[in-house]
Amino acid sequence: MRSRVVAAPPGSLLPSESELSNEFGASRVTIRRALDLLREDGLIAARQGFGWFVAGAPVRQHLVELGTIEAQLADSGMTNERRVIEFAFVAPPDHVRQILDTESVLRVKRINLADGEPFAVVTVWCPAALAGRLSKEQVEQHPFYELLDVTLRGATQTIGADGASAEDARLLHVPAGAPLLTCQRITMSGTGEPVLVSEHRFPAHRTEFVVDLPSAEPSTMPSGLRLVE
């Protein structure tokens, strides 16, 4: 088990304790003790909803400026990759239509990988009038921010949590129902008009958001939270 863990990429899931018991012909008690020893050595970790996984530094996104998590991965020495799995000009869903005020959008869905392991499923909607000349190859290699012929002013991000659907689980290599971090980003043009809507879904055991607060109210409660029904 130690050899397998050392050779596996960070964040990858191990078989269940029952499956390991069958594979090694050992009792569940013995398997659990072996896993505990590997955890004490810092090689693996466990989290509710995921089971055991190979330990590693989480993929972090600092929410301090309008940038991409890919740039932060590159700065940390990790190899990042985009795989576009959907690229189509379509009618937008109602919530995107209300934000972008358009009846036709480019919808791009992709998987983001860090050192070969998936860490995000991202869906982006862009008005067709701005995205008409874009190709699948372009959006696979570059952020939308670099491709749009428009000045960008900033963005609003809403962060939440959800459980992985069957499709999310398949794409992110996690169990169905596993906890996900979610983020909706609405990006504005220099004149204040929404030009991009993106929805991101991250496996919670691999990712975290970090918010830099130059000043804050004297409270131990985190900033930016609100109760929702």
The DSSP line for 121-182 is: EEEEEEEHHHHTT--HHHHHHS-HHHH-SS-EEEEEEEEEEEEPPHHHHHHHTS-TT-EEEE
Q: Is 8 a domain residue?
A: yes
* Domain co-membership, 146 together with 188: yes
Q: Which domain holds residue 165?
A: 59-210
CATH of the domain at 33: 1.10.10.10
Quick one: 204 and 135 in the same domain?
Answer: yes
Q: Is the dihedral of CA 162, 165, 168, 172 positive or negative?
A: positive
The answer to whether residue 137 scores a pLDDT higher than 90 is yes
Q: What is the pLDDT of residues 53-82, one digit of tens each?
A: 888 766 665 555 545 666 666 666 778 888
We report the CATH number of the domain holding residue 117 as 3.40.1410.10
Q: What number is the average pLDDT over the span 122-139? A: 93
For residues 103 and 204, state if they share a domain. Answer: yes
Number of folded domains that form the chain:
2
With cut-offs at 50, 70 and 90, classify the pLDDT of residue 152.
confident
Tokens of 168: 């999310």
**144 plus 198 within the same structural domain:** yes
Mean per-residue pLDDT, 186-201: 92
Report, as an integer, the average pLDDT of 199-208: 86
**Does 24 share its domain with 111?**
no
Token representation of residue 109: 């869905």
Task: Identify whether 21 is part of a domain.
Answer: yes
Q: Are residues 49 and 64 in the same domain?
A: no
For the chain, report the end-to-end CA distance as a whole number of angstroms: 45
| pLDDT > 90: percent of the chain | 36
**Whether 130 and 200 share a structural domain:** yes
pTM: 0.72
- Checking DSSP bridges between strand 117-127 and strand 152-163, what pairing results, if any? unpaired
Question: What's the DSSP call for residue 79?
Answer: -
Residues 17-46 have a mean pLDDT of 90
Residues 134, 196: one domain? yes
92-119 confidence digits (pLDDT tens): 999 999 999 999 999 999 998 888 888 8
Q: Does residue 89 sit in the same domain as residue 194?
A: yes
Helix (H) or strand (E) holding 52: strand 51-54
pLDDT on residue 88: 96
pLDDT-based confidence at 154, cuts 50/70/90? Answer: confident
- For the chain, the 3-state helix, strand and coil shares in percent, each to the nearest 5, are 25, 35, 35
Per-residue pLDDT, averaged over 167-184, amounts to: 89
Give yes or no: residues 29 and 130 share one domain: no
Tokens of 142: 């570059």
Residue 159 corresponds to which tokens in the numbers above? Answer: 């962060």
Residues whose CB is less than 8 angstroms from the CB of residue 63 and which lie 6 or more positions away in sequence, other chains included? 157, 209, 210, 211, 212
The total number of residues shown for the chain amounts to 229
- Among residues 16, 38, 54, the one where a domain terminates is 54
218 lies in some domain: no
Give the end of a domain, one of 54, 77, 96.
Answer: 54
* Whether 71 and 126 share a structural domain: yes
Over the chain, what is the mean pLDDT?
A: 84
pLDDT value for 217: 66
Burial 54-89 (b: 16+ CB within 10 A, else e): bbbebbebeeeeeebbbebbeeeebebebebeebee
Contact 89, 96 (CB under 8 A): no
Domain co-membership, 187 together with 130: yes
Whether 118 is in a domain gets the answer yes
The confidence score (pLDDT) of residue 57 equals: 66
Helix (H) or strand (E) holding 71: helix 69-75
Query: For residue 210, what pLDDT band results from cuts at 50, 70 and 90?
Result: confident
Instruction: Report yes or no on 216 lying in a domain.
Output: no
User: Which has the closest alpha carbon to 10: 84, 78, 83?
Assistant: 78
In a domain, 229, yes or no: no
In a domain, 215, yes or no: no
